[in-house]
Amino acid sequence: MNQSMRIAVRNVGRQKKRTVLLAGAVGLGFFIITLSGSLLGGIAVSARRNFSAAFGGHLYFSGSVVSDRGSEIAVMADPGPLESVLAARSREIASIHRRSAAAGTLIFGPRELRQTLTGVDFVREPDFAGGLRIVSGSLDRRAEPGALVLPADAADRLGVRTGEALLFRASTVHGQRNVTELVLIATYEGQSGFGVSAGYASLGTVNSLLGLGSGEFQTLNVWLQDDRTIDATAERILADLAGRAPLEPREDEDPMRRMADRLLGGSGPRSVGDGERWEGTRYGLATLNDLMAQFTSILSIADALSFWVFLILLAITMVGILNSYRMVVVERTAEIGTLRALGLQKTGVRNVFLWEALFVSLYGALAGLAAALAVLALARTAVLPGGTVLSFFLDSGRIPFAVNPLETGRNLVLLCVASLAAASFPARAASRLPPAAALRAAY
């Protein structure tokens, strides 16, 4: 082992109070950045999973046609071109779901509640049931006409129990008022308050409410094999579709909002200006990333913020290291002279201090990392009550975390570089002490 390093390792334990203080400051910074980074990372992963589950896919293709009267009708009247393009990319695709959705009002006795109702083709989605955590009732009869599944909190607010009948009022795709009677067969742990958790009924039920034929649907949702390829795959599919079918311009406004407007707009279809009209089915595309763009940017702001906090703590710690080692050099002047007399070179003396600062920082970082992991592991043992907005960011009710090794490594490198930079000033001063003068200092 390098002699400077050996002396440095020993020196770390020499003034325990000072070491604990410095390492503690470093550890605190590392604790905070690791904790927040891991939490934000975990939340990002959980939210992605929860949102994609709630929306039923990664890519959401919608279709619309122009009616005789010039209104935009939300129906994928001719899915042919899209389906053939998707078939050609079947290797990238995990599954495809065809759905319709109606936004309307549930009425149970005197109570009313706004709710989105998603129509699911239960026959073609046999594993649909596995994705919901059932609170009451059962999904066995979900494919029957009029069978309704609601988020539990929505059912609670209406005061409706499984087995009871209720009304759902909505507009058809053409904008005509409609109402249908439904029977609640089950409730699941969802977050209707967040406006994301839908009620579910069979595709046929929702279609008849929307004034659509039994085989029709509004959106085609695609689950990809790898959710990291969402943007790239979306671009490729749109490129494949270009020329085969009219496409909705993607950049002009928030695509999720536009789709939600079209699908869920309770006030009927938008009229299409003469110049804008198209022939046949026009496809629109929104992706999970579009949907989460705002959320993602909030997360990255939080991430950047905690990184800044880390940098500030780092800067404060570095001032601490600089000052501490200035004092240490004074305290150890005679020893520096001795080392020099015994034959240690200038660089060797410098390295003693650099190594020491590095070890103190590493110990601190390790302690901070361990503390953060301990806190996260502890937090994970708690299961938070479901059915709230919060649960959208949790992993089945648990606080999620994902330690990013790359980020942790980056922070560690940053920390080491900063510590070395801070210690380099006193270390250089130590190495430049003339040996005779150093030896004369009181031991």
Partner 1 sequence: MAILQLSDVHKTYPLGKTEVHAVRGVSLEIRKGDFVSIAGPSGSGKSTILNLIGCIDRPSAGSVRLGGVDTAGLSDRELTRLRHRVLGFIFQSFNLITVLDVYENVEFPLLLGRDVPKPAERRERVRRLIREVGLEQWERHKANELSGGQRQRVAIARALVTRPEVVLADEPTANLDSATGESILALMQTMNREFGTTFIFSTHDAKIVDLADHVVRLKDGLVAEEFRRGGAA
Partner 2 sequence: MRLRVFAASALALLSVLRAAPLAAQAPGTPDFNALLAAVDRRTNYGASDFSARLTLVSEDPSEGTETRNVRVFRRDRADTLLLLVLKPESELGQGYLRVDDSLWFYDPESRKFTHSSVKENFQGTDAKNSDFGLSSLAEDYAVAAHAEGRLGPHETWILDLKARHDETAYASKKVWITKKDGLLLKSEDYSLSGRLLRTAYYTSYARVGSSLVCDRFTYVDALVPGKKTSILMEEISLRPVPDEVFTKAYVERVNR
Which of partner 1, partner 2, none does residue 81 bind (CB under 5 to 8 Å by kind)? none
Report the residue number, 177 or 277, with the smaller CB distance to partner 2. 177
- Does 178 help bind partner 2 (rule: CB under 8 A)? yes
Report the distance separating Cα 196 and Cα 151, nearest Å.
10
Report the distance separating Cα 86 and Cα 63, nearest Å.
15
- Does 277 help bind partner 2 (rule: CB under 8 A)? no
Which of partner 1, partner 2, none does residue 338 bind (CB under 5 to 8 Å by kind)? partner 1
CB of 354 to partner 1, least distance (A): 17
Report the distance separating Cα 213 and Cα 207, nearest Å.
6
Report the distance separating Cα 350 and Cα 425, nearest Å.
9
Report the distance separating Cα 228 and Cα 233, nearest Å.
9
Which residues would be at the binding site for partner 1 (CB under 8 A)? 3, 7, 10-11, 13-14, 334-335, 337-346, 348, 434-436, 439-440, 443
CB of 12 to partner 1, least distance (A): 9
For residue 295, the Cα-to-chain-centroid distance in whole angstroms is 8
Q: How many CB atoms lie within 10 A of CB 31?
A: 24
Which of partner 1, partner 2, none does residue 7 bind (CB under 5 to 8 Å by kind)? partner 1
Report the residue number, 157 or 332, with the smaller CB distance to partner 2. 157
Report the residue number, 114 or 440, with the smaller CB distance to partner 2. 114
Report the residue number, 342 or 382, with the smaller CB distance to partner 1. 342
Report the distance separating Cα 170 and Cα 189, nearest Å.
24
Which of partner 1, partner 2, none does residue 172 bind (CB under 5 to 8 Å by kind)? partner 2
CB of 268 to partner 2, least distance (A): 6
Tokens of 203: 């595709």
Query: Which string of x and - marks every residue 101-130 that binds partner 2 (by CB under 8 A)?
Result: ----x-x-xxxx-x----------------
Find the part of the chain contacting partner 2 (CB under 8 A) among 41-49, 134-142, 197-205, 259-267. 259-267
Q: How many CA atoms lie within 13 A of 31 on its CB side?
A: 15
Report the residue number, 342 or 406, with the smaller CB distance to partner 1. 342
Which of partner 2, partner 1, none does residue 267 bind (CB under 5 to 8 Å by kind)? partner 2
Phi, psi of 353 (to 5 degrees): -75, -40
CB of 235 to partner 2, least distance (A): 29
Report the distance separating Cα 3 and Cα 15, nearest Å.
20
Interface with partner 2 (CB under 8 A), residue total 31
Report the distance separating Cα 402 and Cα 31, nearest Å.
14
- Does 68 help bind partner 2 (rule: CB under 8 A)? yes
SS3 per-residue string spanning 212-244: CCCCCCCEEEEEECCHHHHHHHHHHHHHHHCCC
Report the residue number, 142 or 340, with the smaller CB distance to partner 1. 340
Report the distance separating Cα 47 and Cα 295, nearest Å.
9
For residue 395, the Cα-to-chain-centroid distance in whole angstroms is 11
Phi, psi of 172 (to 5 degrees): -70, 170
Q: Looking only at residues 196 through 255 of this chain, which bind partner 2 when binding is defined by CB under 8 A?
A: 208-209, 211
Pick from 328, 325, 329, 335: nearest CA to 435: 335
Query: Which string of x and - marks every residue 179-198 that binds partner 2 (by CB under 8 A)?
Result: xx------------------
